[in-house]
Structure 1
C-alpha cells in the first residue's frame, strides 16, 4: 500500500468496532453511532418556549390611533424651579390656601400715582378692555393636504407549484413519529418498525415531500403544508402540546388491535402548519427539511421558515434574534428565490440571477465561508457564496449532511464542505479528521460524466448521469456506496489497517443497474429510481430504513419488491436518519 494511503487509513481506524456496537443497539431506539463523524449534540426532548421577534409582534398587533395628549397641571413639586417661583400664590380662604381659578374675575389693578384710583378704572385697564373689544381678524388656514396613498407593489410569480399528486408509502423505525402513521395500530398493524413500504392513508393529495432527520413536511395540491415527527425545536411549525402520557409497558398487550404506542398523536399524525402570520394568498412551490428546521418557497420567490439550527455545541438558533422559531416566519434577506436545498443543519437558496445563498451551521465549511468564533451567529444570516468557478450557471442545488453540491447548465458538478470521507469526490484531505473544502470548486473526478441528479448522505454521495448510469463515492463500511468488492483498488480506495476498504475516493459507476433518473440519500442508506418507475435501495438497514424487510445491511442496489408497490410507478424517494419514503403515481380508477 502506498504510504499516503496507509497513513490516511490509520487515521480512520476501527470501523468494525463501531459497526459491532451499532448492531447490538435496540432497533427501536438505536441511531447509528459514528465515532469519527463531526460531533453533534443529540436533540433534547425538552420543550422550549417560543421567542417572537419584534417584527412578528408588530405584524400581529393592530395599530392603535394615538390618543390626544392630556395637559397635566403640575404639582407644586413638579416643573422647573423658575416656573414654581413665577407662579402666583394661591389666595387664602379662612386661613386655607385656595387654588386660583383662571376664569374668576379678579380685582382691578392699582397703579401707584394714578389720579382716578377711587372708583375709576385705571388707564391700563381701559386700554386692555378697548383692545379686547376690537374685532378679531380671522386668519386664513390652508386646507390640509390628503395623505399620499400607500402603493403596495404586487410581486410577480416566478415559480410554478407542483401538480402531480402522489400516493405516499413509508417504512423504517417510526418511534419518533416520522412515518406519519399516527400513534395506534390500524388494521392490526403497528405504526412503528415498518419493514416494507406501507401506504400512509393519513396523506391525501400530496405533490411534494421533504425529509428531515426525524421529521417530514409535505405539500398538498390544495396548498396546505403538513408536518409530522419530532417537534422539540419547532420543526413542525405548529403546536403539538399533548396532555397524554406514556403507556405502562407492564400492561402492554401485543395482541391488542388498538394498542397505543405512547407517541404524541399530534406529532405522529400529519397536521397543517400555523399560517396565522402568513399573508393571505401565499402559494407554496417547494419544501425542504433539515435536522430541526423546515423552509418553504413561494411562487413569488419568498422564503419562510421555522425551527432552529444546531451546531456541534447544541442549539445555534434560527436567526440572530430568535433561538427557536415555533411558527412560520418570513426570511427577509431573501427574494426571487428559485430553489432551496437542505443539509443536516444548513440551507442553500438559488435566486433567479444565479446567486447562491447559504446559512445555518458552518463548522464543516458547508457555507463556503470562514466564520469567526466570536460571531458565530453571523452564520445564521443568508449570505452569498460568491461566483461559481468556471463561470458556471447553477441549475440545481443539493446537500449532504455537511457538504453541498451544484449542478450547472453544462452538467458539471461543483462542491464544497466536509470531505473527510471524500464525500465531495475530492482526494485532497480525504481520510483526515476534519478535512474539508472551503470554497466551491469543480469536481474534477466527475468531469467525464454529464450529471443529471445528485444527492449526499452523511459521509457518502451518489449521482446519476443523463444516460442513466449510477455513480457512488465516499464512506464504505456501512455499504453506503453499494459497490461490489471488485470495485475497490489501490488506485481509488483508502484501506484500513485490517486491509478492509474504508473510503472510495473516486466516483465509480455501480455495475448491473441502469436507466436511473433520480437518486436520494438518507444518513447511511440510498435510493435510485429508474425511468420505468422501479426503486432500488442499499446501505445501512438496522431500522428497516431500506424497505427491504431486514435489519441487515443491503450491500448493493436491490429492487424493493413488495405487494404494496410492485405494480406502482415510483416517482419520488426520500430518506432521513432511520426511515424512507416513496411517492407513487395514483392508480387509475
Structure 2
C-alpha cells in the first residue's frame, strides 16, 4: 500500500518503514523519520524529603529503611510469567542470542527468574522480575540497557542491571529506560533524542550507561515512556515530565521554546517539572490518577475520570478536532461518556488504542496499514471508535504501526503493519482486523501482557495450569 504524503501540524507523517534485514548490525540507528526526540534529567543520589518522612520522631537506633513508604498503583504488576519475543532482532532486541535475527512466531527467552512486567523500547527490551530485578537486551548504543555490553554479543541475551533497590515498575523509549523503586524513586539511563540527535540525560548532550537518580520532591507511583519523553505520576496526583518537547509531549513547554528549550537551553527539558493544570481540586490544581504515553503524546486521567492529553495530534491521535500539536494539557471531550470510564491507553506513532471499564477496545488516529483494527479500507478517526470482533479486553498496546489487545480469557489479538513479523501471523501482509496470535509457545498458555517496539514485540505469558 502506498503512503500518502501529507503535511500536518509540526511534522509530515513518516512513510512505511523499511524492513530491517538480518546482519545489518553495524549500528542500532534505525531511527525512522519520526517526529521529535528529547532530553532527560536527574540528580544526585540523594533521598527525597518530606513526604516520605514519618510524622513522629524515629528513634536514632531505628533503621532509615523503616521510614520509607512503599508506593502502590494499580499498574504495578505482580503475576509472574515467561517472556516471548517475535519480529525483527537485528540488534539483539529479541534476546535470543547473536545468531537469531528474526522470529515470525513467538519464541521463548531464557531468563534466570520469572518476570512480572515486560517493556519493548524502540530497539531494546526490558524485563522486571518478581524479585524486583531488571534484565535488558538489545541496542545499547546510547546506554539504554543500563549495563556493560563490551563482551561480544552480550547485548543479544538478557543481562542484569546493577541497581540495589527493589524495582516495582519499568518503562522504555527509543533510547532510554526508567525504573520506579518500591519507595517511589525514579532511576533513568540511556539518552533522550530530538530530531537533531542526542540531547542528553542528566546533563545536556551526555548519555549514561548506568542508572541515575532523578530528583523529585514527592514519591512517584507510576512511570510511562514515550519514544523520547518520560512521564511521572506522584503520590499527590501531580504529573512531572522530562525529555523531548518538540511536539508538545511534555505538556509544559510552549511551542516557542520546544526546540531544545529556547534561551533556557536543554535544562528546560531535562529537569523534571510539574505539568500545570488548573482545576477545582486542592489549591486549584487538577489531580491525576493515571498517565499513559504514545510515541509523541501523553494521556492523563484525573481522579474524577476526565481525560487530558498533550503532544502530537497530526492524525487526531489525541482525539482533538484539529491536527495541531497540543503544547499544554487539553480536556479531551471526545472521551466523555457518563456510562463508562477509561482504564487504559497506548499509542504508536500516529494512532491510539484504548480500553474502557466494560472491556471494549477503541482506536483513533491514522488508519494506513490497518493499525486501527477497524477492517479493510478503514479511514482516519478523530474520535474513539469501537474495534469490532474482539472479546472482553483487559489491556491494549501499540507499536509504531501495530495494535494489540489482551482478552480477559488470556488471548492476544493483533493488527496493523505486517512487515516486521510483529503480528504473529508468520506473514508480512498487513492485517486490518484483529487476529488471534498463535504459535507453539502460546499453546496452553495465558497471555498476561503485550508490549511492542519499533520492529519487535514482547509477550508475558503464564502456563494455564498455574493460572
TM-score (norm 2): 0.83
1:274 and 2:162 equivalent? yes
Kindly provide the CA deviation profile for residues 249-308 of structure 1, in whole angstroms up to 9, marking residues without a partner as x.
xxxxxxxxxxxxxxx421011111133xx5xxx221111111111111111111111111
Task: Determine if contact 2:36/2:296 at 8 Å carries over to the other structure.
Answer: no
Question: 2:82 matched to which residue of 1?
Answer: 167
Cα distance in 2, alignment partners of residues 461 and 390 from structure 1: 28
Task: Compute the displacement of 1:223 (Å).
Answer: 2.7
d(CA) in 1 for partners of 2:156 and 2:217? 32
Aligned counterpart for 2:202 among listed residues 319, 324, 331: 319
For residues 145-160 of structure 1, the aligned pairs below 5 Å read 153-154=64-65, 155-160=67-72
Q: How many residues align?
A: 424
The reply on whether 1:469 has 2:360 as its aligned counterpart is: yes
Instruction: Map residues 322-401 of structure 1 onto 2, 5 A cutoff.
Output: 323-369=206-252, 370=254, 371=257, 372-374=261-263, 375-387=265-277, 391=281, 392-401=286-295
Indicate how the Cα distance of structure 1 residues 55 and 296 shifts in structure 2: closer, same or farther if over 3 A, else same.
closer
Is 1:459 matched with 2:371?
A: no
Spell out the pairing of 1:72-83 with structure 2 (5 A cutoff).
none
**Cα distance in structure 1, aligned partners of 2:280 and 2:422:** 39
Correspondence for 2:391: 514
Structure 1's 228 and 378: CA in aligned 2 closer, same or farther, altered over 3 A? same
Matches of residues 288-299 of structure 1 in structure 2 within 5 Å? 288-299=171-182
State the match for 1:176 in structure 2.
91
Question: Which residue is 2:433 aligned to?
Answer: 556
Residue 35 of structure 2 is aligned to residue 38 of structure 1? yes
Displacement, 1:158? 2.6
In structure 2, the CA distance between the partners of 1:273 and 1:17, relative to structure 1 (3 Å rule), is closer
Matches within 5 A, 1:499-578: 501=379, 503-578=380-455
More strand by share: 2
CA RMSD of aligned residues (A): 3.0
2:126 aligned residue: 217
Partner of 1:68: none
For the Cα contact (< 8 Å) 1:158–1:336, is it kept in 2?
no
Contact 1:158–1:299 (CA under 8 A) maintained in structure 2 = yes
**Cα gap change, 1:16/1:518 in structure 2, threshold over 3 Å: closer, same or farther?**
closer
The C-alpha deviation readout for 1:67-105, integer Å capped at 9, x for no partner, is: xxxxxxxxxxxxxxxxxxxxxxxxxxxxxxxxxxxxxxx
1:49-448 → structure 2 map (5 Å cutoff): 153-154=64-65, 155-160=67-72, 162-184=77-99, 191-202=100-111, 204-242=113-151, 264-275=152-163, 278=164, 282-320=165-203, 323-369=206-252, 370=254, 371=257, 372-374=261-263, 375-387=265-277, 391=281, 392-428=286-322, 430=323, 435-448=324-337
Larger Rg belongs to: 1
Give 1:10 shift: 6.1
Report the alpha carbon displacement of residue 27 of structure 1 after superposing the two structures with TM: 4.5
Conserved 8 A contact 1:411-1:452: no
Conserved 8 A contact 2:43-2:212: no
Q: Report the CA distance shift for 1:382/1:515 in structure 2 as closer, same or farther (over 3 A).
A: same
Distance in 1 (alpha carbons) for counterparts of 2:346 and 2:174: 16
How far, CA to CA, are the matches of 2:295 and 2:423 in structure 1? Answer: 18
State the secondary structure of the residue aligned to 1:180. Answer: coil
Q: 1:387 to 1:194 in 2, by over 3 A?
A: same
The 2-side partners of 1:380 and 1:326 are apart by 17
SS at match of 1:564: helix
CA distance in 2 between counterparts of 1:588 and 1:358 reads 41
Contact 1:389 1:441 in 2 (8 A): no
**Closer/same/farther in 2, CA of residues 388 and 169 from structure 1, 3 Å limit:** farther
Task: Decide whether the 8 Å contact of 1:27 with 1:542 is kept in 2.
Answer: no
Helix, strand or coil for the counterpart of 1:585?
Answer: strand
Corresponding residue for residue 53 of structure 2: none
Give the 3 Å change call, closer, same or farther, for CA 34–481 of structure 1 in structure 2.
Answer: farther
Q: TM-score scaled to structure 1, two decimals?
A: 0.67
SS for the counterpart of 2:368 is: coil
* Runs of 5+ consecutive residues of structure 1 not aligned to the other structure: 1-7, 42-52, 60-148, 185-190, 243-263, 489-500
Q: Which runs of 5+ in 2 are unaligned?
A: 48-59
In 1, are the aligned partners of 2:86 and 2:94 still within 8 Å (CA)? Answer: yes
CA contact (8 A) 2:118 2:459 kept: no
Q: Could you say which structure has the greater relative contact order, defined with CA pairs below 8 angstroms and 6 or more residues apart?
A: 2
